[in-house]
Structure 1
Amino acid sequence: MTDSKPTKRERLVAAAVQVFHEQGVEKTTLGDIAGAADVPLGNVYYYFKTKNQLVEAAVDAHCAQLHALTSQLDALPDPATRLKSLIAGWVEQRDVAARFGCPFGTLATELDKRDDGLDQAAAKVMRALIDWAESQFTLLGRPDAHDLAIELVAAYQGMSVLTNTLRDPDLMATQGRRLQTWIDTLT
Protein backbone atom coordinates (compact mmCIF):
# COMPACT_ATOMS: atom_id res chain seq x y z
CA MET A 1 0.00 0.00 0.00
CA THR A 2 1.46 3.37 -1.00
CA ASP A 3 1.22 6.47 1.12
CA SER A 4 -0.93 8.99 -0.75
CA LYS A 5 -0.07 11.98 1.40
CA PRO A 6 -1.27 15.21 -0.24
CA THR A 7 1.40 17.29 -1.96
CA LYS A 8 2.19 20.80 -0.75
CA ARG A 9 0.23 22.19 -3.69
CA GLU A 10 -2.79 20.02 -2.84
CA ARG A 11 -2.58 21.10 0.80
CA LEU A 12 -2.41 24.75 -0.25
CA VAL A 13 -5.46 24.41 -2.50
CA ALA A 14 -7.46 22.57 0.19
CA ALA A 15 -6.48 25.23 2.72
CA ALA A 16 -7.47 27.99 0.27
CA VAL A 17 -10.90 26.42 -0.21
CA GLN A 18 -11.40 26.25 3.55
CA VAL A 19 -9.98 29.65 4.47
CA PHE A 20 -11.74 31.47 1.61
CA HIS A 21 -15.00 29.91 2.82
CA GLU A 22 -14.41 30.87 6.44
CA GLN A 23 -12.90 34.34 5.95
CA GLY A 24 -13.68 35.38 2.39
CA VAL A 25 -11.17 36.06 -0.35
CA GLU A 26 -10.56 39.70 0.44
CA LYS A 27 -9.79 39.12 4.13
CA THR A 28 -7.56 36.13 3.47
CA THR A 29 -3.82 36.54 3.12
CA LEU A 30 -1.42 34.10 1.55
CA GLY A 31 0.03 33.75 5.05
CA ASP A 32 -3.37 32.57 6.33
CA ILE A 33 -3.45 29.89 3.65
CA ALA A 34 0.17 28.86 4.23
CA GLY A 35 -0.56 28.52 7.96
CA ALA A 36 -3.69 26.45 7.38
CA ALA A 37 -1.77 24.20 4.96
CA ASP A 38 1.22 23.95 7.33
CA VAL A 39 3.48 25.11 4.51
CA PRO A 40 6.12 27.85 4.78
CA LEU A 41 4.89 31.10 3.24
CA GLY A 42 7.74 31.15 0.73
CA ASN A 43 6.52 27.84 -0.69
CA VAL A 44 3.18 29.41 -1.60
CA TYR A 45 4.91 31.57 -4.21
CA TYR A 46 6.56 28.51 -5.75
CA TYR A 47 3.11 27.12 -6.63
CA PHE A 48 1.06 30.32 -6.95
CA LYS A 49 2.57 33.61 -8.05
CA THR A 50 -0.53 35.59 -7.10
CA LYS A 51 -3.52 35.30 -4.82
CA ASN A 52 -5.73 35.23 -7.93
CA GLN A 53 -3.98 32.05 -9.09
CA LEU A 54 -4.83 30.51 -5.73
CA VAL A 55 -8.44 31.66 -6.08
CA GLU A 56 -8.56 30.03 -9.53
CA ALA A 57 -7.18 26.81 -8.04
CA ALA A 58 -9.84 26.94 -5.32
CA VAL A 59 -12.57 27.37 -7.95
CA ASP A 60 -11.11 24.42 -9.86
CA ALA A 61 -11.15 22.39 -6.62
CA HIS A 62 -14.84 23.21 -6.16
CA CYS A 63 -15.44 22.06 -9.73
CA ALA A 64 -13.59 18.80 -9.05
CA GLN A 65 -15.56 18.27 -5.82
CA LEU A 66 -18.82 18.82 -7.67
CA HIS A 67 -17.79 16.37 -10.38
CA ALA A 68 -16.84 13.75 -7.76
CA LEU A 69 -20.15 14.28 -5.96
CA THR A 70 -22.29 14.05 -9.07
CA SER A 71 -20.37 10.95 -10.18
CA GLN A 72 -21.24 9.31 -6.85
CA LEU A 73 -24.86 10.40 -7.18
CA ASP A 74 -25.01 9.06 -10.73
CA ALA A 75 -24.40 5.58 -9.30
CA LEU A 76 -27.76 5.75 -7.48
CA PRO A 77 -30.66 3.92 -9.11
CA ASP A 78 -32.90 6.74 -10.34
CA PRO A 79 -32.96 10.52 -10.85
CA ALA A 80 -35.37 11.28 -7.99
CA THR A 81 -33.14 9.40 -5.57
CA ARG A 82 -30.11 11.26 -6.94
CA LEU A 83 -31.74 14.66 -6.48
CA LYS A 84 -32.98 13.82 -2.99
CA SER A 85 -29.52 12.54 -2.05
CA LEU A 86 -28.01 15.80 -3.28
CA ILE A 87 -30.41 17.68 -1.02
CA ALA A 88 -29.61 15.35 1.90
CA GLY A 89 -25.91 16.14 1.42
CA TRP A 90 -26.67 19.84 1.59
CA VAL A 91 -28.65 19.31 4.79
CA GLU A 92 -25.78 17.31 6.32
CA GLN A 93 -23.64 20.44 5.95
CA ARG A 94 -26.18 22.63 7.77
CA ASP A 95 -23.89 23.44 10.71
CA VAL A 96 -21.17 24.65 8.34
CA ALA A 97 -23.77 26.62 6.36
CA ALA A 98 -25.06 28.20 9.56
CA ARG A 99 -21.57 29.42 10.39
CA PHE A 100 -20.10 30.29 6.98
CA GLY A 101 -22.79 29.91 4.29
CA CYS A 102 -22.63 27.70 1.22
CA PRO A 103 -18.99 26.79 0.53
CA PHE A 104 -19.27 27.70 -3.13
CA GLY A 105 -22.15 30.18 -3.15
CA THR A 106 -20.35 32.56 -0.81
CA LEU A 107 -17.21 32.39 -2.96
CA ALA A 108 -19.20 32.95 -6.16
CA THR A 109 -20.96 35.96 -4.63
CA GLU A 110 -17.69 37.49 -3.50
CA LEU A 111 -15.99 36.90 -6.84
CA ASP A 112 -18.92 38.50 -8.67
CA LYS A 113 -18.01 41.82 -7.07
CA ARG A 114 -14.57 41.73 -8.71
CA ASP A 115 -13.64 42.81 -12.20
CA ASP A 116 -10.88 40.30 -12.95
CA GLY A 117 -12.71 37.47 -14.73
CA LEU A 118 -12.81 35.16 -11.74
CA ASP A 119 -16.57 35.68 -11.60
CA GLN A 120 -16.87 33.80 -14.89
CA ALA A 121 -14.79 30.92 -13.54
CA ALA A 122 -17.16 30.70 -10.58
CA ALA A 123 -20.18 30.84 -12.87
CA LYS A 124 -18.84 27.76 -14.67
CA VAL A 125 -19.14 25.71 -11.46
CA MET A 126 -22.66 26.93 -10.76
CA ARG A 127 -23.65 26.12 -14.36
CA ALA A 128 -22.26 22.61 -13.94
CA LEU A 129 -24.53 22.04 -10.93
CA ILE A 130 -27.53 23.42 -12.82
CA ASP A 131 -26.72 21.28 -15.85
CA TRP A 132 -26.44 18.13 -13.73
CA ALA A 133 -29.75 18.86 -11.98
CA GLU A 134 -31.36 19.60 -15.36
CA SER A 135 -30.21 16.22 -16.66
CA GLN A 136 -31.86 14.54 -13.66
CA PHE A 137 -35.14 16.36 -14.23
CA THR A 138 -34.94 15.44 -17.92
CA LEU A 139 -34.55 11.79 -16.93
CA LEU A 140 -37.71 12.23 -14.85
CA GLY A 141 -39.44 13.14 -18.09
CA ARG A 142 -39.95 16.76 -17.20
CA PRO A 143 -40.25 19.14 -20.18
CA ASP A 144 -39.48 22.02 -17.78
CA ALA A 145 -36.21 20.42 -16.62
CA HIS A 146 -34.11 23.58 -16.98
CA ASP A 147 -36.55 25.71 -14.98
CA LEU A 148 -36.76 23.04 -12.27
CA ALA A 149 -32.96 22.86 -12.06
CA ILE A 150 -32.77 26.63 -11.62
CA GLU A 151 -35.50 26.43 -8.97
CA LEU A 152 -33.63 23.71 -7.06
CA VAL A 153 -30.28 25.49 -7.07
CA ALA A 154 -31.92 28.83 -6.21
CA ALA A 155 -33.78 27.19 -3.32
CA TYR A 156 -30.53 25.74 -2.01
CA GLN A 157 -28.68 29.03 -2.26
CA GLY A 158 -31.59 30.82 -0.59
CA MET A 159 -31.78 28.37 2.29
CA SER A 160 -27.99 28.58 2.69
CA VAL A 161 -28.10 32.37 2.92
CA LEU A 162 -30.96 32.29 5.43
CA THR A 163 -29.36 29.51 7.46
CA ASN A 164 -26.15 31.54 7.62
CA THR A 165 -27.79 34.90 8.26
CA LEU A 166 -30.04 33.57 11.00
CA ARG A 167 -27.38 31.10 12.26
CA ASP A 168 -30.12 28.45 12.28
CA PRO A 169 -29.13 24.99 11.01
CA ASP A 170 -32.67 23.72 11.63
CA LEU A 171 -33.89 26.07 8.90
CA MET A 172 -31.80 24.17 6.36
CA ALA A 173 -33.09 20.83 7.67
CA THR A 174 -36.69 21.99 7.36
CA GLN A 175 -36.20 23.45 3.90
CA GLY A 176 -34.31 20.35 2.80
CA ARG A 177 -37.27 18.18 3.77
CA ARG A 178 -39.56 20.50 1.80
CA LEU A 179 -37.32 20.20 -1.27
CA GLN A 180 -37.28 16.42 -1.01
CA THR A 181 -41.08 16.39 -0.80
CA TRP A 182 -41.17 18.71 -3.80
CA ILE A 183 -39.02 16.22 -5.75
CA ASP A 184 -41.57 13.51 -4.90
CA THR A 185 -44.38 15.62 -6.38
CA LEU A 186 -42.52 15.89 -9.68
CA THR A 187 -42.25 12.18 -10.37
Structure 2
Amino acid sequence: MTNSVDAERTQTKPGKRERLVEAAVRVFYEQGIEKTTIADIARVAEVPVGNVYYYFKTKDQLIEAAIGAHARSLDQIVAELERLDDPRERLKSLIQGWVDGRELAVRFGCPFGSLTAELTKRADPLDGHAAEVMRALVDWAERQFAIMGRSDARELAVALIASYQGISLLTNAFRDPGLMAAEGDRLARWIDSL
Protein backbone atom coordinates (compact mmCIF):
# COMPACT_ATOMS: atom_id res chain seq x y z
CA MET A 1 0.00 0.00 0.00
CA THR A 2 1.32 3.48 -0.90
CA ASN A 3 0.89 6.53 1.22
CA SER A 4 -0.66 9.75 -0.08
CA VAL A 5 2.73 11.45 -0.55
CA ASP A 6 3.92 8.65 -2.86
CA ALA A 7 0.62 8.74 -4.74
CA GLU A 8 0.86 12.51 -5.14
CA ARG A 9 4.43 12.28 -6.46
CA THR A 10 3.37 9.64 -8.96
CA GLN A 11 0.52 11.83 -10.18
CA THR A 12 2.55 15.04 -10.47
CA LYS A 13 5.73 13.75 -12.14
CA PRO A 14 5.31 13.07 -15.84
CA GLY A 15 6.22 9.64 -17.12
CA LYS A 16 9.48 8.93 -18.92
CA ARG A 17 8.02 9.28 -22.38
CA GLU A 18 6.45 12.65 -21.56
CA ARG A 19 9.69 13.86 -19.97
CA LEU A 20 11.63 12.77 -23.04
CA VAL A 21 9.28 14.67 -25.36
CA GLU A 22 9.43 17.80 -23.17
CA ALA A 23 13.21 17.53 -23.06
CA ALA A 24 13.41 17.05 -26.84
CA VAL A 25 11.34 20.19 -27.42
CA ARG A 26 13.58 22.17 -25.07
CA VAL A 27 16.93 20.84 -26.24
CA PHE A 28 16.09 21.06 -29.95
CA TYR A 29 15.06 24.68 -29.32
CA GLU A 30 18.15 25.58 -27.34
CA GLN A 31 20.78 23.63 -29.32
CA GLY A 32 19.21 22.86 -32.67
CA ILE A 33 18.52 19.42 -34.12
CA GLU A 34 21.94 18.68 -35.56
CA LYS A 35 23.85 19.52 -32.37
CA THR A 36 21.47 17.58 -30.13
CA THR A 37 22.20 13.98 -29.23
CA ILE A 38 19.88 11.43 -27.73
CA ALA A 39 22.16 11.52 -24.67
CA ASP A 40 21.50 15.28 -24.32
CA ILE A 41 17.76 14.68 -24.32
CA ALA A 42 18.05 11.78 -21.87
CA ARG A 43 20.12 13.92 -19.48
CA VAL A 44 17.60 16.78 -19.49
CA ALA A 45 14.69 14.33 -19.09
CA GLU A 46 16.54 12.56 -16.26
CA VAL A 47 16.08 9.24 -18.03
CA PRO A 48 18.89 6.73 -18.51
CA VAL A 49 20.07 6.84 -22.12
CA GLY A 50 19.30 3.16 -22.63
CA ASN A 51 15.67 3.76 -21.68
CA VAL A 52 15.21 6.30 -24.47
CA TYR A 53 15.26 3.52 -27.06
CA TYR A 54 12.31 1.82 -25.38
CA TYR A 55 10.18 4.84 -26.33
CA PHE A 56 11.98 6.22 -29.38
CA LYS A 57 14.08 4.06 -31.68
CA THR A 58 15.63 7.00 -33.55
CA LYS A 59 16.33 10.68 -33.17
CA ASP A 60 13.81 11.29 -35.97
CA GLN A 61 11.10 9.75 -33.81
CA LEU A 62 12.01 12.24 -31.09
CA ILE A 63 11.83 15.06 -33.63
CA GLU A 64 8.41 13.87 -34.72
CA ALA A 65 7.30 13.72 -31.07
CA ALA A 66 8.59 17.28 -30.58
CA ILE A 67 6.59 18.45 -33.60
CA GLY A 68 3.53 16.77 -32.07
CA ALA A 69 4.17 18.58 -28.79
CA HIS A 70 4.32 21.90 -30.65
CA ALA A 71 1.02 21.03 -32.37
CA ARG A 72 -0.62 20.28 -29.00
CA SER A 73 0.76 23.51 -27.57
CA LEU A 74 -0.69 25.44 -30.50
CA ASP A 75 -4.05 23.72 -29.95
CA GLN A 76 -3.98 24.83 -26.30
CA ILE A 77 -3.09 28.39 -27.23
CA VAL A 78 -5.86 28.52 -29.83
CA ALA A 79 -8.37 27.10 -27.34
CA GLU A 80 -7.45 29.87 -24.89
CA LEU A 81 -7.69 32.52 -27.59
CA GLU A 82 -11.07 31.23 -28.72
CA ARG A 83 -12.45 32.17 -25.30
CA LEU A 84 -12.19 35.80 -26.35
CA ASP A 85 -15.27 37.09 -28.16
CA ASP A 86 -13.65 39.42 -30.67
CA PRO A 87 -11.31 38.21 -33.44
CA ARG A 88 -9.23 41.38 -33.11
CA GLU A 89 -8.71 40.66 -29.43
CA ARG A 90 -7.79 37.06 -30.25
CA LEU A 91 -5.15 38.19 -32.71
CA LYS A 92 -3.80 40.85 -30.36
CA SER A 93 -3.66 38.33 -27.53
CA LEU A 94 -1.66 35.99 -29.78
CA ILE A 95 0.73 38.85 -30.50
CA GLN A 96 1.01 39.65 -26.79
CA GLY A 97 1.97 36.03 -26.14
CA TRP A 98 4.80 36.42 -28.63
CA VAL A 99 5.92 39.64 -26.96
CA ASP A 100 5.79 37.99 -23.55
CA GLY A 101 8.19 35.32 -24.83
CA ARG A 102 10.71 37.82 -26.17
CA GLU A 103 13.46 36.95 -23.68
CA LEU A 104 13.57 33.40 -25.04
CA ALA A 105 13.45 34.78 -28.58
CA VAL A 106 16.54 36.84 -27.74
CA ARG A 107 18.40 33.66 -26.88
CA PHE A 108 16.99 31.11 -29.32
CA GLY A 109 14.53 32.67 -31.79
CA CYS A 110 11.01 31.36 -32.32
CA PRO A 111 10.57 27.92 -30.74
CA PHE A 112 8.72 26.42 -33.66
CA GLY A 113 10.03 28.61 -36.45
CA SER A 114 13.61 27.65 -35.60
CA LEU A 115 12.73 23.95 -35.65
CA THR A 116 10.83 24.29 -38.92
CA ALA A 117 13.66 26.20 -40.58
CA GLU A 118 16.17 23.58 -39.51
CA LEU A 119 14.00 20.73 -40.77
CA THR A 120 13.66 22.26 -44.23
CA LYS A 121 17.40 21.76 -44.66
CA ARG A 122 17.07 18.00 -44.22
CA ALA A 123 16.03 15.59 -46.93
CA ASP A 124 13.21 13.82 -45.10
CA PRO A 125 9.44 14.10 -44.63
CA LEU A 126 9.62 15.66 -41.16
CA ASP A 127 9.72 19.16 -42.63
CA GLY A 128 6.26 18.47 -44.08
CA HIS A 129 4.94 17.60 -40.61
CA ALA A 130 6.37 20.83 -39.24
CA ALA A 131 4.85 22.79 -42.12
CA GLU A 132 1.43 21.35 -41.22
CA VAL A 133 1.69 22.87 -37.73
CA MET A 134 2.81 26.23 -39.13
CA ARG A 135 -0.06 26.04 -41.64
CA ALA A 136 -2.52 25.45 -38.79
CA LEU A 137 -1.45 28.75 -37.22
CA VAL A 138 -1.80 30.60 -40.52
CA ASP A 139 -5.22 28.99 -41.09
CA TRP A 140 -6.39 30.04 -37.62
CA ALA A 141 -5.24 33.61 -38.19
CA GLU A 142 -6.96 33.60 -41.59
CA ARG A 143 -10.25 32.61 -39.91
CA GLN A 144 -9.92 35.55 -37.54
CA PHE A 145 -9.42 38.00 -40.38
CA ALA A 146 -12.31 36.40 -42.30
CA ILE A 147 -14.59 36.84 -39.27
CA MET A 148 -13.56 40.51 -39.36
CA GLY A 149 -15.00 40.60 -42.89
CA ARG A 150 -11.70 40.79 -44.71
CA SER A 151 -11.70 39.39 -48.25
CA ASP A 152 -7.89 39.36 -48.11
CA ALA A 153 -7.85 37.23 -44.95
CA ARG A 154 -5.25 34.76 -46.23
CA GLU A 155 -2.83 37.50 -47.23
CA LEU A 156 -3.25 39.21 -43.87
CA ALA A 157 -2.70 35.94 -42.00
CA VAL A 158 0.49 35.22 -43.92
CA ALA A 159 1.68 38.79 -43.32
CA LEU A 160 1.03 38.46 -39.57
CA ILE A 161 2.87 35.16 -39.16
CA ALA A 162 5.69 36.27 -41.46
CA SER A 163 6.09 39.45 -39.42
CA TYR A 164 6.38 37.42 -36.23
CA GLN A 165 8.89 35.01 -37.75
CA GLY A 166 10.95 37.90 -39.08
CA ILE A 167 10.98 39.81 -35.82
CA SER A 168 11.88 36.61 -33.95
CA LEU A 169 14.90 36.25 -36.19
CA LEU A 170 15.93 39.90 -35.74
CA THR A 171 15.31 39.80 -31.99
CA ASN A 172 17.59 36.77 -31.81
CA ALA A 173 20.23 38.15 -34.19
CA PHE A 174 20.47 41.52 -32.45
CA ARG A 175 19.80 40.14 -28.96
CA ASP A 176 17.29 42.93 -28.49
CA PRO A 177 13.94 42.14 -26.81
CA GLY A 178 12.83 45.70 -27.50
CA LEU A 179 12.48 44.83 -31.17
CA MET A 180 9.85 42.21 -30.38
CA ALA A 181 8.00 44.60 -28.07
CA ALA A 182 8.00 47.38 -30.69
CA GLU A 183 6.83 45.04 -33.45
CA GLY A 184 4.12 43.70 -31.14
CA ASP A 185 2.85 47.25 -30.60
CA ARG A 186 2.93 47.92 -34.34
CA LEU A 187 1.06 44.71 -35.14
CA ALA A 188 -1.60 45.48 -32.51
CA ARG A 189 -2.14 48.95 -34.06
CA TRP A 190 -2.26 47.33 -37.51
CA ILE A 191 -4.96 44.88 -36.36
CA ASP A 192 -6.97 47.78 -34.87
CA SER A 193 -6.70 49.69 -38.16
CA LEU A 194 -8.25 46.89 -40.23
Equivalent in 158, 163, 178 of residue 171 of structure 2: 163
Quick check: 1:93 aligned with 2:127? no
Quick check: 1:181 aligned with 2:189? yes
Q: What are structure 2's unaligned runs of at least 5 residues? A: 1-6
**Largest Rg, 1 or 2:** 2
**Take 1:78 and 1:164, find their aligned partners in 2: how far apart are those partners?**
31
TM-score, with length taken from structure 2: 0.94
Equivalent in 50, 58, 69 of residue 58 of structure 2: 50
Quick check: 1:123 aligned with 2:131? yes
Q: CA RMSD in A?
A: 1.0
Quick check: 1:82 aligned with 2:90? yes
Kindly, what percent of the aligned residue pairs are identical? Answer: 62
Task: Please list every run of at least 4 consecutive aligned residues from structure 1 whose deviation after the TM superposition is greater than 4 angstroms.
Answer: none
Equivalent AA in structure 1 for residue 50 of structure 2: G
Equivalent in 17, 30, 34 of residue 38 of structure 2: 30
Instruction: Name the structure 2 match of 1:6.
Output: 14
TM-score, with length taken from structure 1: 0.98
Q: What are structure 1's unaligned runs of at least 5 residues? A: none
- Following TM superposition, by how much is the alpha carbon of 1:77 offset from its aligned partner in structure 2, in angstroms? 1.5
**Take 2:97 and 2:55, find their aligned partners in 1: how far apart are those partners?**
32
Say how many residue pairs are matched.
186
